[in-house]
Amino acid sequence: MSVFEKTMFAKTAIAKAASDRPEHQVPELDVSLKHHLGSFQLDVAFRIHRWPALLFGPSGAGKSTILRLIAGLERPQEASITFGSRVLADTKARIRLTPGAGGIQLVTQRAALFPHLTVRQNVAFGTGAKDRADGYPERILAMLHAEHLRDRYPHRLSGGEQKRVALARALAARPELLLLDEAFVGLDPTLKQEILADLTVLLSEQKTVALHVTHEVSDAYALNTETILLATGRVMRQGPASEVLAGERDRILQILG
What is the pLDDT confidence band of residue 222, given thresholds at 50, 70 and 90? confident
pLDDT of 54 over the 90 cut: yes
Q: Is the pLDDT of residue 191 over 90?
A: no
- Residue range 33-55: average pLDDT? 93
Give Cα 18 to chain centroid, integer Å: 18
Q: What is the pLDDT of residue 250?
A: 64
Cα separation, 121 vs 210, in Å, equals 24
Q: In whole angstroms, what is the distance from residue 240 CA to residue 245 CA? A: 8
Say whether pLDDT at 187 is over 90: no
Map out the domains of the chain with their CATH numbers: 3-103+175-256 (3.40.50.300)
What's the pLDDT at 15? 45
Average pLDDT, the chain: 85
d(CA 145, CA 139): 10
Region 82-90: mean pLDDT is 93
Q: What is the pLDDT confidence band of residue 206, given thresholds at 50, 70 and 90?
A: confident
27 within 8 A of 177, measured Cβ to Cβ: yes
Contact in structure between 162 and 186 (CB atoms under 8 Å): no
Q: Would you state the pLDDT for residue 19? A: 46
Task: State phi, psi for 62 to the nearest 5 degrees.
Answer: 110, 10
Alpha helix segments (H runs only) across the chain: 3-20, 63-71, 119-124, 129-133, 136-143, 159-172, 189-206, 217-223, 241-244, 246-256
pLDDT by residue (tens digit) across 6-18? 444 444 444 444 4
For 95-153, write each residue's pLDDT tens digit. 888 876 768 999 998 888 999 999 999 999 988 888 988 999 999 999 998 999 999 99
Q: What pLDDT is recorded for position 236?
A: 95
| pLDDT tens digits along 223-239 | 778 999 999 999 999 99
Confidence of residue 254 (pLDDT cuts 50, 70, 90): low
Does the N-terminal peptide bond of residue 52 adopt cis geometry, omega within 30 degrees of 0? yes
